[in-house]
Structure 1
Amino acid sequence: MSDAREPDTAWRVCMVVFSGYPSDPRVRREAAALRRHGIEVDVYCLRQPGECRTEDCEGVTVYRIFDAPRSKETLARYLVHTLRFTLRALFALSAKARSGRYALYQAHTMPDFLVFACVIAKWQRKPIILDLHDLSVELFAAKLDGAKRRLLGLVALQERLACRFADHLITTSWGFHERLLQRGHPEAKISLVFNAADPVLFWLDRERQFLPIGDELHLIYHGTIAERFGLHRLLEALPRIRASHPGVKLRLYGKADPSYLRRLESIIGDLGLSAQVEFGGWRSAHELMECFRQADIAVVPYLHDEFMDIAVSTKTFEYAAAGLPVVATRLKAMTSIFPDDSITYVAPGSSAALAQGVLSLAADPDRRARQSRLAHKAQDALSGQVMADRYRGLVADLIRASQSGVGEIGNQFGAHQAVPVRSSTRSAGLAGEAETLPPNTSTVESYR
C-alpha cells in the first residue's frame, strides 16, 4: 500500500451510513483521516432531532437525508427503516454524483445492502468500499431464535451479494476476516482496520494516581446499552461490590435499547441500586475523556456467543488509550490483543465473577498501575494514527488505481498489510509473544 501522501488532484469521497454523524465514531474517524490529508468527504446519514439537514462538521459535509427512527428494535421495523433509507440514499447519491463529483464511494454497514445505494459508481467506474463494521450472519444468528432463524438464509444472501458488488471490503476483526475468507471472498479484496482509539480524543492521563480505594469506588461503562453487552450481569454484581465499597457508583453512558433499559431499571429497583447507578446518556468523545478521568475502573461485561467471541470491544481500546484499568469478560478476540496481565479477565455471564474481578482490582493499586501501563502499550501498536494511515492509504490506492485504468481494483490491496498484535488464539506455540497479524475490532448497536 502506498504512503498517505497528499492527493495529486482534489478528491472527494462519498460515505453513506444508517447512523448519525458525527455520533458514529468509526465514520467520524475515517472521515477525519481523509480530511487531514486534503481529501474532501460528504456523508449521507440519519438526522437526529434538532440537527440540521445539511451541515459542515469540521470540514466534512453532512447530508442528513432521513429522520432517525424512534425505534428499530424489532426486525420488521429495522427492515422497513433500512430499506427506506437505502432508497433515499440511492436518489440522493445519484443526484449529486452525475457531475462525476466523487472519486470513491463507501457504504458502512449495517445493513449490508446499503452498498447498492452506490450503484451509480458502477456506471462511472468509480471504486466502492463496503465497510463491514459487523458481520450480519453472525450478529443475526446471535439475536434470532425460533422460527425467525429461518431468515438467516436471506441474511447470508444479501451479505454475499453486497460483498461481491463492492470492489473492496474493510472489516474490523480478525475473526470477521476469517469468516469472510471461509465464505469465498478473496483475501486480497479484504483489509482490516481496527476501531482503535483516536489519540487526539483519548490520550494517556499521566496525572492519574493509583491510590487505595475506600468506600467510594467509581465504575464506568460507555457504548451501546443492549443485552449482549451484559450490563444486567454488572448490575447483579453491584450488591457484592457495595458490601466492600458502600459508596460505589456505576455510571453508564450511551444510547439504550428501550426494552433493555426497562429491564435494567427493573433490576435497579429490585436490588435497591438507585443510589449506585446513573445513566448519563450519550456523550461526545471530548466529554467521555473527562468521564474516564473521574472513574477508577472500567467494566466491559460482554456476554459470550458466536458473534461476541470474534468481535473486539472498541471501548476497551479507548479505556486503554486513556490509561483506565479494565475488568472484562474473557473472549477470544479480546485476549488476542490484550494479554492477561493488561486486563482483569473474568468468566462471561457470571455476576459473581464480575464482582470478584472488580473487587480484586480495586484492592490492588500496584496492579491497577501495571495493567494501565501494559494495556496502553498493547493498544499503542494499533493506535488510531496507525489505523488512520492504513485506511487513508487504502483509499488513495483505490482511487489512483481507478484513475489509471487498472482493471480489478478490488484485488490489488488488502490483508497483506499486517500489524503486530498478540494472538493467544492463533499461535499456541507463541503464547504471550507478539506476532504479525492483521488488525481487528468491532462495535455493535441494536440491529445496526
Structure 2
Amino acid sequence: MRPVRVAMVCGAGDPTLDGVADYTRRLEVALREVDVHVSRVSVAPGRAGGWLGAVRGAARSVRRLAPDLVHVQFAPSAFRFSGRPGLLLPPLLPRSVPLVTTLHEYGSWAAPSWLPDRVWRRLERAARVDRESGRLVPGSELVLVTNDAHAAVVTERTGRRPLRVPVPANVDDHGAATGARRRFRRRLGLPADTVLLVFFGFVHPVKGVRYLLEALPRLRARHPALHLAVVGGFTSRALPEPQADAFRAELAGIAAAHGVGDAVTFTGYLPAPEVSEALHAADGAVLPFCEGVTTKSGALVAALAHGLPTAVTTAPAGDPDLVDGVTVAVIDRRRDAAAVARATDRLLSDPALRGRLARAGRLVATRRSWPGIAAAHRAAYERLLGVGDD
C-alpha cells in the first residue's frame, strides 16, 4: 500500500471542548492504520495579523509539507464563526495539490448573513463562493459530509454530490459493563435500585436539556426511584466559560423550581472511561435536541454502541437509521417536556422495547467504526489521486 501524505487543516480547538477537534484527533489515529500520514495544520488568529495572518501561516505550512492533498475539517464553530478562513485559504494553497473538505455542520449558517438567499444561490450555482464555507466547497475536488441531510443541501445548492462518511462513536467502549451499574451509582451516592437516565454530550441550550428537566416530575410520578445524570461539560467552543457557568446555574435553577433538584446530577466533563461506565450503568439515554438528533451525533452513536436504549427528538429531514420502536424511541415533538416524558416513560416501562432498541442500536453503531471510516477516507484519497496498491 502506497503511503498518502495529508495536510489536515482545522481550527485550533481543544478536543475536550470541541467536537470537531476531537473527531479530527481520532481520525488522525485511525488513518495511521491505513498508511495515511497526517500532518495537522491549525488555523487560529493571533494578536498580530488576525485571520489573514493565520491563514497565510497555514498556507505556508502546507507548502513546506508538500502533501499529496489538503483536507480541511470545517464547521463554523471550528473557526470561531468567522467566514474569513474559508474565503482566504483556498486561493493561497498550491493549485497542484487537491483540496478536500469535510462539512461537519451545514445548512443553517451564512457569512455574511445579510446577503439575500437569491444572491447566494447564484454565487453557489456559479461555483464562486459558498454561503457557509466561503471558497472551500467551490474550491474542493471532493466534499465529504457526515449525513444525508447535509448531502441534500450541498446538492441542492451546488449541484454536486458529496461523499457521505458517517460519524463513529465519540467514546469507545472501555469494557466497563461488569460492575458498572454498582460503581457508577456508588460514585453518585445512589441506591443500587435507582432507575438511571443519562444525557450525554456537550451541554448547550440547543441540546434541549431544560425540557428533560421539566419532564422529570411527570416521570418520577411513574418511576419514583428515577435519577438523571447529565454527563458532559458545559464549556465548549460554542459556549465559552462565562456563558457556560450561567447556563449550568440556569439548569440547576430549573431543576430546583420543578422540585427535582435532588434527582439530577451534573457530572461535568468526564474522561472517556468514566463516560463509558456511565453509559453501561444507565437504564436509558435521552437526547431531546431542539433541532432534532441525527446519526451525525457522536454522542448518540456512543450511546447506541454501548447498547443503551435511547429516546431522541428527530430532525425535520429525518434519519433513515433512527426508526421509532426499532432503533430508538422517538420524542414526537421538539421543545416539549410532555413529549419527552411520554417517550421516556414508554422506554422505561417496556423491558422488551429496551431490549430491541439495545440490539438494533448496536448494529447501527457497528456500521460506524473508526477502522471503517479510515478505510473510506483512504479509498476516497486514492480515487482522487489516481493511485492504489502497488
Please tell me the TM-score bracket, short chain as reference. 0.7 to 0.9
SS at structure 2 position matched to 1:183:
helix
Taking the TM superposition and a 5 Å limit, the aligned residue runs for 1:195-210 are: 195-197=167-169, 201-202=172-173
Q: Check 1:333–1:319 CA distance in 2 against 1; reply closer, same or farther (3 A cut).
A: farther
Question: How big is the shift at 1:106?
Answer: 1.9
Letter in 1 for 2:167: N
- Aligned positions, number: 349
Is the aligned partner of 1:127 residue 2:114? Answer: no
Is the aligned partner of 1:345 residue 2:330? Answer: yes
Q: Which of 80, 92, 109 lines up with 2:57 in the alignment?
A: 92
Is the aligned partner of 1:38 residue 2:35? Answer: yes
The normalised TM-score by structure 2 is: 0.76
**Where does residue 70 of structure 2 map in the other structure?**
105
Distance in 1, matches of 2:86 and 2:341, equals: 43
Gaps of 5+ in 2: 77-82, 121-129, 182-190
Cα offsets for 1:384-424 (capped at 9, x unmatched): 433222122212333446xxxxxxxxxxxxxxxxxxxxxxx
Is the aligned partner of 1:17 residue 2:11? Answer: yes
Aligned 8 A contact 2:174 2:273 in 1: no
Aligned 8 A contact 1:131 1:169 in 2: yes
Is the aligned partner of 1:314 residue 2:298? Answer: yes
Question: How big is the shift at 1:124?
Answer: 5.0
Cα offsets for 1:58-83 (capped at 9, x unmatched): xxxxxxx668xxxxxxxxxxxx9xx9
Distance in 1, matches of 2:231 and 2:110, equals: 25
Q: Which of 308, 311, 314 lines up with 1:327 in the alignment?
A: 311
The normalised TM-score by structure 1 is: 0.67
Question: How big is the shift at 1:219?
Answer: 1.2
Taking the TM superposition and a 5 Å limit, the aligned residue runs for 1:223-238 are: 223-238=201-216
Is the aligned partner of 1:150 residue 2:122? Answer: no
Q: Check 1:359–1:272 CA distance in 2 against 1; reply closer, same or farther (3 A cut).
A: same
**Where does residue 123 of structure 2 map in the other structure?**
none
Is the aligned partner of 1:264 residue 2:251? Answer: yes
Letter in 2 for 1:175: A
Q: Which of 340, 357, 362 lines up with 2:348 in the alignment?
A: 362
Distance in 2, matches of 1:371 and 1:378, equals: 10
Which segment drifts farther, 93-102 or 269-278?
93-102
Instruction: State the identity as a percent.
Output: 21
**Where does residue 127 of structure 2 map in the other structure?**
none
Gaps of 5+ in 1: 1-5, 47-64, 68-79, 142-147, 402-448
Distance in 2, matches of 1:133 and 1:122, equals: 21
Distance in 1, matches of 2:293 and 2:229, equals: 25
Taking the TM superposition and a 5 Å limit, the aligned residue runs for 1:291-440 are: 291-304=278-291, 308=292, 312-332=296-316, 335-340=319-324, 341-347=326-332, 348-400=334-386
Aligned 8 A contact 1:228 1:303 in 2: yes
Question: How big is the shift at 1:311?
Answer: 7.4
Q: Check 1:184–1:263 CA distance in 2 against 1; reply closer, same or farther (3 A cut).
A: same
Question: How big is the shift at 1:92?
Answer: 3.0
**Where does residue 23 of structure 2 map in the other structure?**
26
Letter in 2 for 1:277: V
Question: How big is the shift at 1:194?
Answer: 0.9
Moved over 6 A (4+): 203-206
Distance in 2, matches of 1:333 and 1:279, equals: 31
Q: Check 1:113–1:376 CA distance in 2 against 1; reply closer, same or farther (3 A cut).
A: farther
Q: Which of 259, 273, 286 lines up with 2:273 in the alignment?
A: 286
Question: How big is the shift at 1:233?
Answer: 0.5
Cα offsets for 1:79-131 (capped at 9, x unmatched): x9xx94x4354233233234343222222222365345644774351111111
SS at structure 2 position matched to 1:99:
helix
Distance in 2, matches of 1:343 and 1:205, equals: 23
Question: How big is the shift at 1:158?
Answer: 5.1
Q: Check 1:223–1:167 CA distance in 2 against 1; reply closer, same or farther (3 A cut).
A: same
